[in-house]
Structure 1
Amino acid sequence: MSAEKAISMAQINGSLSEKPEKKDEEWTEIISPRTHLFDLPLRQLWNYRDLMWLFVRRDFVAQYKQTVLGPLWHLIQPIFTTIVFLLVFGKIANIPTDGIEPRMLFYMSGITVWNYFSGCLTSTSTVFLTNAAIFGKVYFPRLVLPLSIIISNIVRFGIQFLLLLALMIWFNFQGYPMKISFHWLYIPLIIALMAGIGLGLGIIISALTTRYRDLAVLLTFVIQLAMYATPVAYPLSYLRGKPYRWLIEINPLTSLVECFRYALFGKGTFDMQSLGYSVIFMVVVLFIGVLLFNKVEKTFMDTV
């Protein structure tokens, strides 16, 4: 080997052995584990709002994908349920409707607000199980998914509420005057309380279903029974003097359903103390739910 080649090879080896200079790197986001159960990633939830809307769209579109009627099922379901209630509770059992006429509006109002709560609770309760594949592949604040479920169910509630308003307007021209008052301002508050209770109970159950899958099956049965423990098909006043009325009154959803009807029709049982009880229940359930959610999300991939 000539001297010139030896020198050039030494220069190449020397250049390869030199360590590259470190450049300052600026990270756009640092992911670190949360150490406290009370940590709420509110800023991250806002930063991931676009992802939340994608999940909302996914939930709304995927539910009725490859169906013939699609979103029309949001209208068909409350209509048929109302007809069944009208026959069973109205015609056969002849249960009064607290002076709300026609009876169809009484039943549909209860079904509309109950469907929102049951939809939030049912979908949120399985959020860990149904989205385990997504959780295991990419990072994002886990609360994005439960919140997207609440929002997507608001869309469904809006469709059914518009159907209820359309019926109220139609019956207005049939001799049943429609009453619009400032009590309608209570409706957003009632829906927010329903959403909070459904979210709180849902994430509590979702945290438990990572270990106990039976709860997901049991929940569907419990929701069906809970509807009859809530004044959806009957007014609270119908239970006056009944020894088991207190069982219905301790249900935090009772006051919300009654207030919803009172806001729409100006008739029914409206009690600020009962409404306050529902607010306290929602705060407690949400608090417990967030604690369990923060605890379980660290280890749930090991058990799902």
Structure 2
Amino acid sequence: MDDITQTWDLEIKPKSSLLNINLKELWHYRDLMWLFVRRDFVAQYKQTILGPLWHVIQPVFTTLMFLLVFGKIAKISTDGIEPILFYMSGITIWTYFSTCLTNTANTFVANAPIFGKVYFPRLILPLSVVMSNIVKFGIQFLLLFVMMLYFALFKHIPIVFSVNWLLIPVLILLMAGIGLGCGIIISSVTTKYRDFAVLLTFAVQLGMYVTPIGYPLSYLQSKPYKWVITINPLTSIVEAFRYSLFGKGTVDTGSILYSVIFMIVVLIIGAIYFNKVEKTFMDTV
């Protein structure tokens, strides 16, 4: 019998290093990623009455709560920004980060049945979480812009369009990168230690208060614990986001650079740990 030469359309090889990320393969599976994006967005509200309107209701009620607690009770200044716009802007960008982090942190555990049946680049799933949350962020940012138009028309608070608006996509990219990096690290750890999934809930709640969402960074100038807020890499991003929109805030190049370096470091650590756990996680999940 003559030898038959076989050719393979796909050859799966073990990773040669822990930092081996095949970007070409990720691009090849981009259609699958968009299917996961659609699944994440549609399935979340498939059996709800209000559906995507929850993306509007949530920031509205959270803004009202912040207005009551930080504005009326604590009477904390908002750097000359209309309080509702101040709180809503911080909540909008924080919500994007927190959802990226919490949803990415469940990657291995939540999708174990899929991982055990078919091959595809595992990083497709956490990337799809980041992309699907961009849609949710877009809805909430549109709500924020509508509120800015309302105050411009009826309260005579002008919308200042400037070159700073071009920074917004960069800031969103930083938030996405930090959320993705931290999320895949936690996802890798929770395959063996489920306690981290519980701790993450507390960490996200605590993180909202050590990030200037309900108060400006300038409010902490004379506070002895200002350094705790300053070392938070999200602080400069939130302040820069408000500065881009309203032209007011405490922003400097050094703090933004610190956030960029932090994002790069957590992405590298996340990629290394993700590749390490990926080889054996089906035995521990």
Q: Same fold (TM over 0.5)?
A: yes
Q: Which residue of the partner structure matches residue 202 of structure 2? A: 221
Q: Give the AA of the match of 1:235.
A: P
Q: Which residue of the partner structure matches residue 69 of structure 2? A: 88
Q: Which residue of the partner structure matches residue 153 of structure 2? A: 173
Secondary structure at 2:240 match in 1: helix
Give distance in 2, aligned partners of 1:192 and 1:136.
Answer: 31
Deviation at residue 35 of structure 1 after TM alignment: 2.3
Decide which of 14, 34, 37 is 1:56's aligned counterpart.
Answer: 37
| CA deviation vs aligned residue, 1:12-61 (integer Å, no higher than 9, x gap) | xxxxxxx4x33332211111111211110111100000000000000001
Secondary structure at 2:61 match in 1: helix
Deviation at residue 151 of structure 1 after TM alignment: 0.2
Is residue 80 of structure 2 the alignment partner of residue 99 of structure 1? yes
Give distance in 2, aligned partners of 1:209 and 1:126.
Answer: 8
CA RMSD of aligned residues (A): 0.7
Larger gyration radius, structure 1 or structure 2: 1
Is residue 55 of structure 2 the alignment partner of residue 43 of structure 1? no
Q: Which residue of the partner structure matches residue 254 of structure 1? A: 235
Is residue 284 of structure 2 the alignment partner of residue 303 of structure 1? yes
Q: Which residue of the partner structure matches residue 255 of structure 2? A: 274
Q: Give the AA of the match of 1:116.
A: Y
Give distance in 2, aligned partners of 1:116 and 1:40.
Answer: 25
TM-score (norm 2): 0.99
Give distance in 2, aligned partners of 1:30 and 1:286.
Answer: 27
Name stretches of at least 5 consecutive residues in structure 2 with no aligned partner.
Answer: none
Q: Which residue of the partner structure matches residue 128 of structure 1? A: 108
Give distance in 2, aligned partners of 1:41 and 1:301.
Answer: 21
Q: Which residue of the partner structure matches residue 9 of structure 1? A: none
Q: Which residue of the partner structure matches residue 125 of structure 2? A: 145
Decide which of 257, 264, 271 is 2:245's aligned counterpart.
Answer: 264
Q: Which residue of the partner structure matches residue 175 of structure 2? A: 194
Decide which of 154, 161, 164 is 1:183's aligned counterpart.
Answer: 164
Q: Give the AA of the match of 1:121.
A: L
Secondary structure at 2:11 match in 1: coil
Is residue 132 of structure 2 the alignment partner of residue 159 of structure 1? no
Decide which of 69, 92, 97 is 2:50's aligned counterpart.
Answer: 69
Give distance in 1, aligned partners of 2:112 and 2:220.
Answer: 44
Secondary structure at 1:152 match in 2: helix
Q: Give the AA of the match of 1:48.
A: Y
Deviation at residue 291 of structure 1 after TM alignment: 0.3
Give distance in 1, aligned partners of 2:164 and 2:247.
Answer: 8
Number of aligned pairs? 284
Q: Give the AA of the match of 2:81.
A: I
| CA deviation vs aligned residue, 1:62-95 (integer Å, no higher than 9, x gap) | 1111000000000000000001111111111110
Give distance in 2, aligned partners of 1:197 and 1:25.
Answer: 44
Secondary structure at 2:136 match in 1: helix
Q: Which residue of the partner structure matches residue 5 of structure 1? A: none
Deviation at residue 289 of structure 1 after TM alignment: 0.4
